[in-house]
Structure 1
C-alpha cells in the first residue's frame, strides 16, 4: 500500500513531465500514421505545396487546439470585449496572452521536430523547388538530370542512376534531420531562458512559489467539487419547488460582482498574500448583507459606490 501511494505521489508530482512525454509519443505516432497512410508525394510541380501543407498544417491545427484546451484562454477572453478592465484590471493582457501562446506552441513544435527528423515531408517539398539557388545547392556534383527531374526523386522515377537517386534522397533527409535537431535545441534553449527569466522576475521565494502552486491545484480541485455540489443542491431545490408548486427557499449564492472579481486573472501582491482571485475576494471583498441573515458575497467597492 505504501509503495502504491509512493508511486501515485511520484506520478502526481511529475504529471507535467509525464504529460509532455505522452504528448511526444502521441505526436510521433500521429506523424508516422500520416506518413504511411495519408501522405503520397505527387512527384510533380506540386511537391512544394503538398509537402509544406503536410509539414505545417497539422502544426497549425495543434496550435489552435492548444488555445482551445487552455483554460486561461477563456478566462482571459470571456467578457473582455464588454469590459476589458474586469478581466485584466492592471493591463496585463499582452503578458498573459504571450504565456498562452508559449504553452500552446509545445505540441506544434513537437510535430515539426518529429516530422523533420523523419524527413519525408521535407524531402517531398524540397524536391519540387524551382529556385535556381536551391537547385544549385541540392544538385551540386550531380548529373544535369538532377536539375530537370528533381521533383521525381521521391518516387525514384528519375533517369539518374540508382546510386545518384539514393544519394539525393539521403541528402534531402539529412538536411531535414539537421533542421529538426536545430529546432529541438533552439526550442529547449528558449524554454530554459524563458523559465529562468520568469523565475528571476518572481515576486516570491522558491518555497512560497511551491506553496502557491500546491494551493492553486487544491483550490481548482475543490472548486470543481463545490460547483457540482451546489449545482446539485440548486437543481434539486428548483425541481422540488416546480413539481410541488411552491415558492423556493433562499439559496445563498455569490453576487454577479463577486463572480466577476473571482474570474479575474490573478496577479500576486506582496503587501497582501492572496494566492488566487478567489482568495482575494474572500479576504477583502466579503461583508454581511444587512438585508439578509445569510452570508452573501458582496464586493467592498460595489457596496461603497452604491
Structure 2
C-alpha cells in the first residue's frame, strides 16, 4: 500500500485485514502486506490519530500488487497533476505490476497516466471533478469497481472490500476468498457492475410483511414460484403482496427472484461440478439458455466463462467438452 497524509484509516484496515487473512489450506499466508509512504514516519490520518509507517517508496519496486488508498487531499486535487516525489515513487513500480485504487485514490492513478483509455470508477460525489481533470479516462460512475487489464479501481471505502475480495478470488479461487469473507463477516461477493449508490436501504426491513414468502422462495428456487403462491403464504391478494413487496424491498417480486436465482447459479458455478443445465435447473432458470441470458445480463459473461474465472480453465473446459 502506498499511503499519503490524510489517509482514511478504514482503507488501511481493509487491505491489511483481507489480504492478511488469506491463507492456503495448510494455513500458510498467501500475501505479505507492506505499507509505504513517501517519507517514512508518522502519517496524518482523517481522524485524531497518526499511523507510523516504517517503509519508504523503495518497496514499490518489489511489489506484485500496489494499492493506492484515499487521502483527504484528493478532494481538492488542484490541476490533476502529480507532485514530483509522488510521480517518482510511482515510477519505481515494475511494468506488469497490478495496480489498484480505493475510492478517490483513482485520481492518483489517472494523474500518473495509468487510466488513460481505460475503464475506471471513483466515488460518485467526485465524478464531475474527475471527468473535468481526466477526460481521457472511460469513467463509469455506476459501478462498485472496475478491472481493465492490470489496473483496478473501486468506487468508495466499502467497495474497497469488494475489490480486495475480487483480487483474492482471482488469485487463489473462490474457497480462499469466501474463507476471508467469513472471517471478516462481510458478503463474499458483490458484482463489480452493481450500482454504487442505491436509494433503497441495503438491510432487510425491520418490519416485513413479506419475510416468510421470501424465506420460502429462497429455499425453493429450483421450482416455479408463481406470484399467487407467494402471496398466499402471507394471506394477501396478489395486488397487495406486490405493493408491499416493492415497498419493503425496492424491487418487484419478479426482479427479486431473478436476483436470487442468479446468486444461486453463481454459487453453484463456483462451488460445484454440476453441468450448466443442472445449475440452471437447481437455480430455477429451467434451461441453460435462460441461465445464460440472465447471467450475462448480471455479470457480462457466460456460465462457462464465469466458472473458468473462479475455478480455473481445466474444469470449465472439461465440462464444455463433455
TM-score range relative to shorter protein:
under 0.3
Q: Kindly indicate whether structure 1 or structure 2 has the higher relative contact order, using CA contacts under 8 Å at least 6 residues apart.
A: 1
TM-score in terms of structure 1 length: 0.21
Query: Greater share of strand residues, 1 or 2?
Result: 2
Pick the structure with greater CA Rg: 1
Query: Greater share of helix residues, 1 or 2?
Result: 1
TM-score in terms of structure 2 length: 0.20
